[in-house]
Amino acid sequence: MRNKLATQPLFKLSVPGRRGAVFPDSDVPQRPLDELLPAEQLATSPPELPELTEPDVIRHFVNLSTLNMSVDANFYPLGSCTMKYNPKRHERLAGLTGLVDLHPYQSEDRSQGMLQLLFEMQQMLAEIAGLPAVSLQPAAGAQGEFTALLVAAAYFRERGEERTQVLFPSSAHGTNPASAALAGFECVQMDKSKNGLVDLDALASHLSEKTAVFMITNPNTLGLFEPDIAKISQMLHDVGGLVYVDGANMNAILGVTRPGDFGGDMMHYNVHKTFTGPHGAGGPGAGPIAVRDFLADYLPGPVVTKRAGGVNPPVDSGEDETYHLTTPTKSIGRMRTFFGNVGILVRGYCYLKTLGAQGLRDVSDNAVLNANYLMAKVADILPTEQGKLCMHEFVATARILKQERGISAMDIAKRLLDFGFHAPTVYFPLVVAEAMMIEPTETESKETLDHFAETLHRIVEEDSEFLHLAPHEAPVSRPDEVTAARKPVVKWMSQK
């Protein structure tokens, strides 16, 4: 049974006179506050804060924590988000005093260890991408997209080319058109194709001397690998455009293929998705970008470089190698303060060093295996409309259940919460009716996947009216999420 006090605000639990600590009488002579501070800076009454004992506070927050979904406690088949387990070993390593106590203003000669780590991170990300130049500065995947588009804009501007259009498929992540618009480009969305892949004829009809960039996620948001990606890239290059690869789904192709090898000119990484940096309340994040050599000079700085000799050697002296922060010659400038979210980059570095090249290949092999296994287990109740095989995720549809029994994707998603599962991504991509986007990741066991599939079968056998009211075990069942997002009510809650 849930503790009802867990859902009560602290102000509701407050009792006048309660304290969490008792302080001894002050031995400092007292003086009136108005002798110490100007009268206009003094409050007329004490702040209305809750009055609680220490057990009240501890029990409140511990009980609240049991209401949260988390990847440490629950299976998160959240499509497109790659909610893999975050190894605690990486948390311990990232918390080493030599790393966390390093100040961003510390001199280069006293930061050589960290600079070496970040340089090696750049090198590894470049190798994985098949693109030689990397900037670690962007603070998240969406900012990585935006940064790469600014790099593209600077490249075309210097060449004197007026390229104004960015193309993307109808199944693109919503951040793609948002980033393009913010970077000053005109967004051109292609029509939905029959098989969920890029229609080459439709793409050709949009290409012109105005085309700057084609943004593509590969594998795409339907969990399908674009078999014509090399041809797509060539079509863009033939008209002088660039190919941007959204790195959100890199978990499917690590060590198998590389964006640079199939024609990509720019890409970003989601360190929290692909390299197990924790997803944390919208941050912190890291969105490094990798680009081709002819775009390297436009990258945001600083980037880490390595040379022989001392910290500031006049020539290559043959001494030990040292690491330095430098700004590319035609840089678009900084995208954030200091160097980036270094703590998240350290976690990603630990992940890459732990696994190595073969380990990364194993990650993708297992992620694809898990997704195909789960897709087959639920195909009789939640079929897919594109393809019999998928990559690391698949988009099932509850369309038939909705038509025949009135059970929607949202009904199933809400009911899963009662069984301790986080819901899959629903109603995205928009090209699939009653979409349920499911991504198990490689960190889940066969037993977990079997239990999840069994639970889905159990749910779809339940009464539709019962499902319309799910979840039944949560403190709140079906909040009006649209109104809450568009018309939030934010006010100070008084104890009175």
**Residue ranges of the domains in the chain?**
4-65, 88-353, 358-483
Distance (Å, rounded) from C-alpha 60 to C-alpha 136? 40
Q: Which two tokens stand for residue 378?
A: 């639920």
The larger pLDDT score, comparing residue 331 to residue 277, is at: 331
Confidence class for position 204, pLDDT limits 50, 70, 90: very high
Average pLDDT of span 56-85: 90
Please report, in angstroms and rounded to a whole number, the separation of the first and last CA atoms in the chain. Answer: 29
Strand order, beta sheet including 394-397: 394-397, 435-438, 425-426
| Whole-Å CA distances, 327 to 109, 135, 332, 461 | 18, 10, 10, 60
Distance (Å, rounded) from C-alpha 73 to C-alpha 75? 7
Architecture of domain 88-353: 3-Layer(aba) Sandwich (3.40)
Confidence class for position 174, pLDDT limits 50, 70, 90: confident
Average pLDDT of span 282-304: 91
The model's pLDDT over 15-60, given as tens digits with 9 standing for 90+, comes to 999 988 888 988 998 888 888 899 889 988 888 899 999 999 998 9
Q: Is the dihedral angle over the CA atoms 99, 104, 109, 115 positive or is it negative?
A: positive
Give ∠ CA 345-307-155 in degrees, rounded to 5: 65
Q: Which range has the worst mean pLDDT, 47-61, 260-274, 481-495?
A: 481-495
| Whole-Å CA distances, 496 to 52, 79, 403, 490, 493 | 15, 44, 50, 17, 9
The larger pLDDT score, comparing residue 32 to residue 199, is at: 199
Distance (Å, rounded) from C-alpha 459 to C-alpha 472? 13
Q: Which of 476, 472, 323 is nearest to 6 (CA)?
A: 476
The model's pLDDT over 309-331, given as tens digits with 9 standing for 90+, comes to 544 444 444 457 899 999 999 99
| Whole-Å CA distances, 336 to 143, 150, 155 | 10, 14, 21
Task: Check if the beta carbon of residue 138 is closer than 8 Å to that of residue 340.
Answer: yes
The model's pLDDT over 420-476, given as tens digits with 9 standing for 90+, comes to 999 999 999 988 999 999 999 999 999 999 999 999 999 999 999 999 999 998 888
Distance (Å, rounded) from C-alpha 48 to C-alpha 28? 26
pLDDT at 492: 56
Contacts of 332 (CB under 8 A, 6+ apart): 147, 150, 151, 154, 298, 299, 300
pLDDT at 311: 45
Distance (Å, rounded) from C-alpha 457 to C-alpha 350? 39
pLDDT at 317: 44
3-state secondary structure the chain: CCCHHHHCCHHHHCCCCCCCCCCCCCCCCCCCHHHCCCHHHCCCCCCCCCCCCHHHHHHHHHHHHCCCCCCCCCECCECCCCCCCCCHHHHHHHCCHHHHCCCCCCCHHHCHHHHHHHHHHHHHHHHHHCCCEEECCCCCHHHHHHHHHHHHHHHHHHCCCCCCEEEECCCCCCHHHHHHHHCCCEEEECCCCCCCCCCHHHHHHHCCCCEEEEEEECCCCCCCCCCCHHHHHHHHHHCCCEEEEEHHHHHHCCCCCCCCCCCCCEEECCHHHHCCCCCCCCCCCCCCEEECHHHHHHCCCCEEEEEECCCCCCCCCCCCEEEEEECCCCCCCCCCCCCCCHHHHHHHHHHHHHHHHHHHHHHHHHHHHHHHHHHHHHCCCCCECCCCCCCCCEEEECHHHHHHHCCCHHHHHHHHHHHCECCCEECCCCCCCCEEEECCCCCCCHHHHHHHHHHHHHHHCCCHHHHHCCCCCCCCCCCCHHHHHHCCCCCCCCCC
Q: Which residue has the tokens 């977990």?
A: 448
| Whole-Å CA distances, 34 to 26, 40, 43, 409, 421 | 19, 9, 11, 62, 57
Architecture of domain 358-483: Alpha-Beta Complex (3.90)
Q: Compute the mean pLDDT over every residue in the chain, rounded to the nearest whole number.
A: 92
Average pLDDT of span 171-188: 94
